[in-house]
Every structure is written in structure tokens, then in C-alpha cells.
Structure 1
Amino acid sequence: MAIVNPPLEAEYDLVIVGSGGGSVPAALVAKQQGRTAVILEKETRFGGSTSFSGGVWWIPNNSLLREAGIADSFERSREYFDSCVTYSGPAVTPQRRDAFLKAAPRMLDWLRDKGLKVRRPRDDWPDYYDNLPGGEPQGRSIMPEPLNLRELGQWEDHLAIYPPMASLPMPAEEYPTLFLMKRTWAGKRKALRMAWLMLRDRLTGRQTVGNGSAIQGRMLQIALREGLEIQLGSPARQLIVEGGKVTGVMIERDGKSIPVRARQGVLVNVGGFSRNKSFRQKVTDGPTTDEWTSANPGDTGEMVQAMIDIGAATDCLDTAWWVVTSRNTNGEWPEGAIWKDGRVFPFMHHLDLSMPHSIMVDQNGRRVADEAGAYMEIGERIYQRNRETGGRAVPCWVIFEKRHRERYPWGAMPPGKTPRSWLDSGYMKKADTLEELAELCGIDPHGLVAEAQRFNRFCDTGVDEDFGRGCRRFDKLHGDPTVKPNPSLGKVEQGPFYAVAIYPGDVGTAGGVVTDEYARVLKDDGSIIPGLYATGNSTASVFGRCYPAAGASIGASFTFGFIAAHHATGSNELERIIA
């Protein structure tokens, strides 16, 4: 797959490192301001971490809400932000919060005017903490319209795609209903719709993608239509600093180091360091490895380190956008996680973990979190419990009973299918009683039995007194409506019982360099590093250690890329945008 890059200039007004979510908006702003810009992508495919994502933006107070007759406002969005973002750190400031909340809806409308095709989810997707003040039970998240990859022409083979989603023409918000294909008529209709879409693509030669590839495919369409310059296979390794100001980057091309200079600024949007094992182990308080991540292959952190090397402040380096994964305790990956070419794509347990008739426990047999809740919170709680117990929560264990295995998917397998290899390899343990299962897993059997009995009482009342599972609309929509009185709570009482070891996987790191409301990179003393901007997973999140809703990280990446380019190019529109 040959890369045909346009001629590389020695200097641009704005140099954008990485092709993730915030990059095309930044380049579009530069063009609108009459400036030159280049997007330098390390990989041979465009899209970065955003292409590997579920493909959602969280945009409070957006125009699609108004078009649907749903009332929202800056004040209500700020109330929700302040209700769920409780972390106090240098990147979580009132100024950054307000800049995001004000600029995000304006950025979205600006992209829609440029032809971006978006919609609200077909199925409900509430804010993750919709029960908090300002929370929106109908959701503030938006989706791209699905994309036929054939529309990209010669660029089709240069769009990054997360392989497990490549053949699924249905976007992520429809999966919870699809998972109920054995339980509800809505689930059966969704399965039929999926089959029809796959057949249509096969018969017509289409290749329909949703999720992150649809976001970045549509952004690539706009970039090509607008004539933006994209350079693939151009990894940046270090920043050029002259007189204390960042004036460009050094890239590698054909075995040579080539300077690319920036007259007005360098915007770093390279993702985080999920695939940098040594960096992760240095900054994480607890077991971690690059093997558990589902982040894109280029997420190796060189430019994050380069910013640190010139004095950038950092925060929250030990956290990530957690989505737990599972594998055998001997390190082997289960059937379904290993691709034909030998690549491993770890299972991401978010929706299947939410289904009734299962609980997640530590090695003392105690539950750790709301299993149906926000995935980042689950990862944070696993590490918290691991510290509290002296290392007895990594791995945790998901305990299933027979009804879960009969009714719902797990990993890459459809409802009711438990591969023989899972049991033979030891990836999934099986026993007739909880006591026997605990012995197989090294869990305290008395603790597990007592916890299951306590949980089962919650299932009778419909109220999880420990973690509130099922108290949010978000939880309930990821449960089984045929289970009463709470669709999130199904008893763990019928054998045989099963167990799988759970590890804190992620889809990207959530800590990085500290930036201000204009996306300028800051030093520890709060002063700026002139000429240097950053957005996306390269930065410490404006949300701290919380994930308020689907698409929060992508919404912030787009928004701060948009803001950064306005600031770097001296746009007189900036104050209106964040006023």
C-alpha cells in the first residue's frame, strides 16, 4: 500500500502532529484564517485513536438537541460538569471547563456547515451520571452518519479502522439492543437489521462503517474536499525549540531527520502512551502493561515525552479511559481475541459486563463497582481496591451463573455460545457451586458466597445498596428489560457457575501535559511554553478522572483543536467563540 504524499514544505503557519480527532478542525480553522497548515501522521493510515473509538462526540447544548425539542443550556451543562467532575487538578479549571462548554456547540455547527453529517443516536444514550444535577437522561452525545468507505476512493486503504468493528455496519449505540437478540423482540429486529445491512453491503459492494472510522472517514472527506495537506508515514520525534519558543518538529522520512518549521504554532494531537510499557509502569500505581490496551498501534508516547523534556507540566498520568478486558491468568488470550494473522484484539467488556446474572469481585470475593456503570469509573475503582487490599483486585473476577451464559454475549461470542476452548484452556472456569468456583480462581469462598447472597437480596428489592447498579437510566438501558424489578440486577444463584479473570484494559491514556483554556501547554509554574499547543489524549483531560458521557474525550479533542488553531493564528473570532 504505497503512500503518495504531497511535496513537504519546509515551513507552515501551523504544524499539526497526529491525525486524531482535533487535527482536521484545527487545519480547517487555519485555512479559514488564510494560513497554511500540515497534518503529520506517524502511521500509514489516517485517523489516530479516534478511528479506533466507538465514534461519538459529547457536545453539551448542541443544535441537534434543540432540533429534537430537548432543552439544554450552558448553565445546565455546567451544572452537570460540576456535579460529576469532582477531581481537582491543574487541567481541571473553571476556565477550561467554560471554554469547552461554550466552544463545543459552536465547533459542531461550524463543521456541519462544512458538510459534516451527524445525528443523534437512534437508541437512547444517556449521560453516564444522568441522575446527577444537570444530567441529561436523553443524552448529549451525537454520532456520525455511517459511511460507505468506497466514497473515499484511493484514500479508502489509508483510513485507520479497528478490525473487530470493520465488518459491522451498525454503530455502537445499537449494540445494547442487539445484545438482547435472545430476549426481546427489539433485539431480534436489531439482529435482522444487522444481517440485512451486511447482506446489502455484500450484494452492492459497499463497505459501511460506523463508530470511529465513520467520524474520521467523514473528517477525511472534508479535509480532501478543502484541500488540506496530510502527510502519512511521517513520525515526529522531537520539538524544535529556539529562544525558548517551539518553532517546529523533527520528523523521520526515508531514514532521514527532516525539520518542519511552524511560524505560528505546533499543535500536538498524537494520543497518549497506552502502548509504551515502560512509561506506563513508571507512572502507574499498580499492575499495568501495554498488552491490555485496545488503543491504536501508534499510541506510544514519544511526543508526550518530548513535551515533558522541554518542561511541560503533567497530571493524571496514571489514569486511562478504562474499558476492562479479560484473559487467562497464564497470559494466554482466549479464542475470539486472536485474529487470523496473529494480532490480538483484547475483548472490551462494557456492555456484556452490564448484563444481569453476573457480578465482578476481587480475590476476597467482594464486589468492586457498579458493573453496569461508567467504564472509566470501573477501572478507577479496580485500582483503588487493589491498593486497599494489597494487590488482591488485579485481576478481578466476573462471576456468571448459567442464565447469563445462555442469554447474553460475552467477548466476541454471541448469546448462548461458550467455546469449548475457553473451558479447556482455563480462560473461563466452571463449577457446580460458588465454593468450588472460588477455589478454582483463588477467591475466598466464604467471601464470594456471602457477597452473592447479599447481591441476590438486592435483586429482590431492585436496589443495589452498595454501588447503585441500575439506579441510573444509563444502567437500565444496558440491562435486560425482561428481568424484574430492575433490569440491571439478576441473581447469581443457578449453577453451573462460571468465572473469568478481569484486567484494567483501556482505549487510551487520559493523562498528559497540562494545557490552559486556549490549549497552550503549561509549565509547572503555570507559565506557557510559547508556540506549543496540545489536545486529545496528549493532554491531561479537562474531565480529570471522570468520563461524563459517551464521546467526552473525542468532543474535547475536537473542541480544543478548534480553539488552539484560532489562538495560534490570531483569529479575531476566538473571544466570540468562548465568550
Structure 2
Amino acid sequence: MSEMPALQSEYDLIVIGSGGGSMAAALTAKTLGKRAVILEKMDKVGGSTSFSGGVWWIPNSSLLRKAGIEDSYEKSRQYFDSVVTYRGPGVTPARRDAFLKGAPRMLDFLIGLGLKVRRPHFDWPDYYDEVQGGLPEGRSIMPAKFNLKELGAWKDRLALYGPLTHMPMGSDEFPVLFLLKRTMAGKLMAAKFVATMLRDKITGRQTVSNGAAIQGRMLQIALREGVELHRSTPVRRFIVEKDRVVGVVAEQNGREIEVRARDGVIANVGGFSRNKEMRERVMGGLPTSNEWTNANPGDTGEVIQAMMDMGAATDCLDAAWWVVTSRNTDGSWPEGAVWTDGTVVPFMHHLDLSQPFSIMVDQDGRRIADEAGAYMEIGERIYQRQRETGRAVPAWVIFDKRHRERYNWGASQPGVTPKSWLESGYMKKADTLAALAAACGIDAAGLEAEVARYNRFCKTGVDEDYGRGSRAFDNAHGDPTVKPNPNLGPIEQGPFYAVAIYPGDVGTAGGVVADEYARVLREDGSVIPGLYAVGNSTASVFGRCYPGAGASIGASFTFGYIAAHHSAGSNELSRILS
């Protein structure tokens, strides 16, 4: 895999950012006989997709058909309309249909180029599988594991998410692994994990899964197909002539270079999770922090701001792909969240929150959401409660000794509680709920009443308030040895524990408004000619909902594919969207 040729002054298509949607767009342009270039500001390529759990949510895919699972455009539209209840300029019937019709064709196109994918080894249900059109088997697609050594010199140029770099397991396998102390399947998964690590050590392989596997394989295909990709080349501004975007000014080796685009410019630059000022500006005074995010380090929003400065409409700027995190109320980070180089990697608590013997409450002691449910919804509900009472950030997870003995918490294995967690005050511990409430500043009477109510639900197996454990999705992340509901377990055995919870994220979900062809729109609905946007740069086609694992990545790839076809004037586009 040779080095890139020098950056030229003109291409057919310029793609800003190197996330998954960028690779899909550039490869599409290449097959259409167009010359595309990807400009990445960071030293490493891969964008938000590289840092992700590595899943595409693809309705009506060929993989579902091969598995004998019934799906269709009509069924997936029923599901979309059931769960995407937000109404805004980024959520239109035309954009919905473009995604639902384009996604399966995009996936088949990439498979034809050598992308290796699979269905999850275990069912990964749609997040609201119980509603009309929902699939309890799930519509999510995983990448096959990938050997980074196949990238040659480019191996060290791929962005990797630290906690997953040396864990060659798919996101679908972690829920089983985390039940190591509870089930035989968990023990077998641990053995499989160890065997893979030993094989790599003996053979010299470097097996990766998840986002690294997606982008490792996509990078390999892009390089093989001759796609130009320039690293350390930030875009400083757009070139606009006669009201049309005709190129960009990029910086490379300390020198600004004008690069023109005959057909168009696609912005796939992620969101603005790392931009403190931007976050505070759009959150309307609600608590927020760029320190709570697990987004790519390049998620800083300057290209989004540049599009806004050109008149691009925006929506849902206060939304994110929420995955709650935890830290001490004094702002310090717990042991396990700070790496040896000083980098902070906040814990993400989706799986551990799903397990029994725990609840999440606000400062009044009241529950906020289905703790085992869709993580974006949990974040939205935390903020809604904060708007109502001002007492939900931080929230608190309350659990008894069985949760600590049986399940992971953050980076800690079952039954292992670092001494520093208790000494620093990150994890509170008390013999009674009243004493625990006092240590946390929670209303004690409110907490005791809520726990008593929750414990009654655990006996019947029916959560009358939030339906925890009533969905296949919840159950897929619970403990099957706990009856009658694998997600419900009473909080009754001391000592009791508590940890402060904050609305962390893996990227922002709002941005500029784009239409069904990924063209960027102004406030009046008119198109900014020559400018396209996909991925986390845009207001999500799903609004404020996350319908299934990999929804954001599936949409980014799909609209990158569509944008490349549209910019090229492809005759295929009408067939793709028919």
C-alpha cells in the first residue's frame, strides 16, 4: 500500500473527514468513474466510526433474508414511524424513505467490494422491539474481525478506541462475557477471548473487532481501490462562488491549499462533543461538559460552525448519542478511567445498568427511566427531569452487594472494588439506605420509598413504572439466572453502594439540516448548492431516538453513498431509492 500522491488542486468530489460515511462516499464515487479525495484533519483516520462499537443498523438487509428473518421496507417503515416521534426539518418522510431504501443497497454494494459482515452471534433486538414493525432478532449488522497487520504501513494510521484495542471481541459478545460469574456461556466466552489473544501472540496477528474492524476493512478496500486519503489536512474554510460551494481551503504541512470540487463537497466531520463553548451555547444552561464524552478527539465542530456561518439550518443541537458515565462529584475521575498516559476514558454504563439489584434515581430518590433500555432515551429522560426539577444531574445509581459481587462496574470485574473508589468518595458505601442517601445528598425518605416500590416490582417481575425487562432488548443484557425478570433484582442486602451518574455521550446527534440526498439546507428550505453533509455533522434522520444498535453508523454510510450518487448525477439513484 503505497503513499498517497500529492494533493491536487481539483477533484470531482471532496470528502471532509474520514469516518465510515466518507469511505462509502469515496468508494461510490470511484465506481461511478469519479475522482474523490478524503481530507482528514487528524493524524489517524477512521473518525467516529473507528471509536464506535462497530455496528450498522440496516433494515431489510440481505443478511436478514439469508437468515430467514422476515423484514421489508413496509415493516421497517412501520417500526421507524412507531419510534421516531420527533418532528423537525431533519426528520422528513423523504429522508426516512431514502435511508430505509438506500441502506440495504449500500450494504450490498460494499459487500461486493469485499466488506465482510455478519449478523450478531446472539440476537441483538431492535431497541423497541415490542412496537409495530420491531424485530426481536434485530436489524443490526457486525463487521467480521480484522487483522490490522493486513494494513501494512497504514496499521499505525488507523484511529483506535483505547479500551477496545486489545479486546478482539465484538460488541455482541460483551453481554455474555460480563456474565462470567453467572453462566456457562459467560465462562465459554471468556475462554474464547483468551484463546484469540493467545493465537494472536503466537501468530503475530493483531485481531480487532467493533469500530476498528469496520474502518480497518474499509481503509483496506479504499486503499486497494486507489481512493486518495490525506491525513493531517484540516479544512479551514469553504470556497463559495456564485452562491455555490466549489471547493475548500485546506492546510497541509503548514501551507494553505485551495482544492476545488467539480461535483460537490461532502462534510462528514462528526459532531462537536469536544467543543466546550459550543456545547454550553446549545444546552440552554443545562449541565454539560466536553469531559463526559467518549467521542473521537477530532469531534470539535469547526466545520459545522463554518456551514452554519454560510446559512445552513440546524436542528437538535442539544441532542447526543447519550451513554451515561460516572465520576466523583468533585470532578475527579475514578481509577480505571485514567490511562497511564493521562488520557481520560470515561466509563460507559449501559451493560452494568441493565443488571438486576440496581436502580438509577434523581436527587429526590425517584427513578428516571428504564435502566436497561435504550441508552439515548435514558440521557434524554435525565435532561427532561433536570428541566423539570433541577435535581437530576448528577443522578445516582443505587445497588446492593449482590450487584457488586456478580457484575462488572466500569473497568472493575465482579467482586473487585478498588480501594481508591471508596477512599476518594467516587463510590459511596453504607449499611443502610438512609445513610447512603445522606452521603449522596439524596432525599432519604424518597429513596427508601422508591426502593420499596421497586422491590415489589422485582417480586412480580413487572416494572409498573418504566417496563424494565419487558423488552427483548432489555433481556439480552440481563442476567438469565435471575427470575422472574432477568433485569429486576431487589435492593435489600447491605452494604449498599451509590455512584454519581452524568449524561455522557459517544457523539452529538444534532447538526446541519440535510435533505434526502444529503444536500445541506438553509433555514428557508433552499439548498446550498454543492454542499452535502452526512453522519454526526447533521441533524439525525432519527431525531431524538436511537432505534437500534448501529443506527448512527448505518445512516452515515447510507447518506454518504446517496450523496456520492447525487453529486455525480448518477442514473442509478432513482433505482436505489425506488
Corresponding position of 1:481: 480
Task: Give distance in 2, aligned partners of 1:67 and 1:491.
Answer: 42
Corresponding position of 2:59: 60
Corresponding position of 1:184: 183
Give SS of 1:136's match. Answer: coil
Task: Give distance in 1, aligned partners of 2:23 and 2:406.
Answer: 43
Give SS of 2:216's match. Answer: helix
Corresponding position of 1:69: 68
Q: Residue type matched to 1:573 in 2? A: E
Shift in Å, 1:465 = 0.6
Give SS of 2:548's match. Answer: coil
Q: Output the aligned Cα RMSD.
A: 0.8
Q: Residue type matched to 1:243 in 2? A: K
Corresponding position of 2:339: 339
Ranges in structure 1 where 5+ consecutive residues have no aligned partner: none
Task: Give distance in 1, aligned partners of 2:481 and 2:234.
Answer: 51
Offset from partner CA, 1:221-277 (integer Å, 9 cap, x none)? 110110110000001121111110001111112222211111110000000000000
Offset from partner CA, 1:474-524 (integer Å, 9 cap, x none)? 001111011110000000111000000000000000000000000000000
Pairing of 1:117-196 with structure 2 (within 5 A): 117-196=116-195
Corresponding position of 1:324: 324
Q: Verify the 8 A CA contact 1:358 1:401 in the aligned structure 2.
A: yes
Corresponding position of 2:524: 525
Corresponding position of 2:237: 238
Corresponding position of 1:288: 288
Shift in Å, 1:201 = 1.2
Pairing of 1:138-537 with structure 2 (within 5 A): 138-285=137-284, 286-389=286-389, 391-537=390-536
Corresponding position of 2:31: 32
Task: Give distance in 2, aligned partners of 1:39 and 1:144.
Answer: 22
Shift in Å, 1:439 = 0.2
4+ residue runs of structure 1 moved beyond 6 angstroms? none
Task: Give distance in 2, aligned partners of 1:368 and 1:111.
Answer: 41
Task: Give distance in 2, aligned partners of 1:302 and 1:291.
Answer: 18
Q: Residue type matched to 1:382 in 2? A: I
Give SS of 2:239's match. Answer: strand
Which is further off, 30-39 or 155-164? Answer: 30-39
Give SS of 2:20's match. Answer: coil
Q: Residue type matched to 1:190 in 2? A: M
Q: Verify the 8 A CA contact 1:6 1:231 in the aligned structure 2.
A: no
Using the size of structure 2 for normalisation, the TM-score is 0.99
Give SS of 1:369's match. Answer: coil
Give SS of 1:172's match. Answer: coil
Task: Give distance in 2, aligned partners of 1:71 and 1:265.
Answer: 38
Q: Residue type matched to 1:375 in 2? A: Y
Shift in Å, 1:193 = 1.0
Offset from partner CA, 1:514-536 (integer Å, 9 cap, x none)? 00000000000000000000000
Shift in Å, 1:35 = 1.1
Q: Residue type matched to 1:137 in 2? A: P
Q: Residue type matched to 2:511 in 1? A: G
Task: Give distance in 2, aligned partners of 1:305 and 1:127.
Answer: 33
Shift in Å, 1:205 = 1.3
Shift in Å, 1:415 = 1.2
Q: Residue type matched to 1:99 in 2? A: A
Shift in Å, 1:24 = 1.2
Q: Residue type matched to 2:264 in 1? A: G
Task: Give distance in 2, aligned partners of 1:333 and 1:28.
Answer: 41
Give SS of 1:173's match. Answer: coil
Offset from partner CA, 1:132-181 (integer Å, 9 cap, x none)? 10000001000000101111111000001001100101111001111100
Task: Give distance in 1, aligned partners of 2:359 and 2:186.
Answer: 23
Task: Give distance in 2, aligned partners of 1:334 and 1:136.
Answer: 38
Shift in Å, 1:207 = 1.0
Task: Give distance in 1, aligned partners of 2:32 and 2:441.
Answer: 62
Give SS of 1:554's match. Answer: helix
Task: Give distance in 2, aligned partners of 1:223 and 1:415.
Answer: 42
Task: Give distance in 2, aligned partners of 1:394 and 1:255.
Answer: 43
Q: Verify the 8 A CA contact 1:334 1:422 in the aligned structure 2.
A: yes
Which is further off, 166-175 or 254-263? Answer: 254-263
Shift in Å, 1:202 = 1.5
Corresponding residue pairs, total: 576
Shift in Å, 1:401 = 0.3
Task: Give distance in 2, aligned partners of 1:203 and 1:135.
Answer: 44
Using the size of structure 1 for normalisation, the TM-score is 0.99
Q: Residue type matched to 1:159 in 2? A: L
Offset from partner CA, 1:322-350 (integer Å, 9 cap, x none)? 00000000000000000001100000111
Q: Verify the 8 A CA contact 1:455 1:491 in the aligned structure 2.
A: yes
Task: Give distance in 1, aligned partners of 2:434 and 2:196.
Answer: 45
Give SS of 1:471's match. Answer: coil
Q: Verify the 8 A CA contact 1:20 1:49 in the aligned structure 2.
A: yes
Give SS of 1:196's match. Answer: helix
Task: Give distance in 1, aligned partners of 2:279 and 2:193.
Answer: 38
Task: Give distance in 2, aligned partners of 1:260 and 1:272.
Answer: 23
Shift in Å, 1:5 = 4.0
Corresponding position of 2:537: 538
Corresponding position of 2:111: 112
Which is further off, 253-262 or 492-501? Answer: 253-262
Which is further off, 111-120 or 245-254? Answer: 245-254
Give SS of 1:124's match. Answer: coil
Change (3 A) 1:4 1:43: farther
Offset from partner CA, 1:287-338 (integer Å, 9 cap, x none)? 0010000000000001000000000000000010000000000000000000
Task: Give distance in 2, aligned partners of 1:577 and 1:207.
Answer: 37
Q: Verify the 8 A CA contact 1:178 1:190 in the aligned structure 2.
A: yes
Ranges in structure 2 where 5+ consecutive residues have no aligned partner: none
Shift in Å, 1:70 = 0.6
Task: Give distance in 1, aligned partners of 2:407 and 2:195.
Answer: 22
Task: Give distance in 2, aligned partners of 1:294 and 1:24.
Answer: 22
Offset from partner CA, 1:52-103 (integer Å, 9 cap, x none)? 0000000000000000011110000000000000000001000000000001
Give SS of 2:172's match. Answer: helix
Q: Residue type matched to 1:211 in 2? A: N
Task: Give distance in 1, aligned partners of 2:382 and 2:202.
Answer: 46
Q: Verify the 8 A CA contact 1:5 1:232 in the aligned structure 2.
A: no
Give SS of 1:359's match. Answer: strand
Task: Give distance in 1, aligned partners of 2:335 and 2:109.
Answer: 45
Shift in Å, 1:6 = 2.3
Q: Verify the 8 A CA contact 1:169 1:208 in the aligned structure 2.
A: yes
Give SS of 2:498's match. Answer: strand
Task: Give distance in 2, aligned partners of 1:16 and 1:540.
Answer: 18
Shift in Å, 1:4 = 5.2
Identity %, equivalent residues = 72
Give SS of 1:15's match. Answer: strand
Task: Give distance in 1, aligned partners of 2:370 and 2:229.
Answer: 43
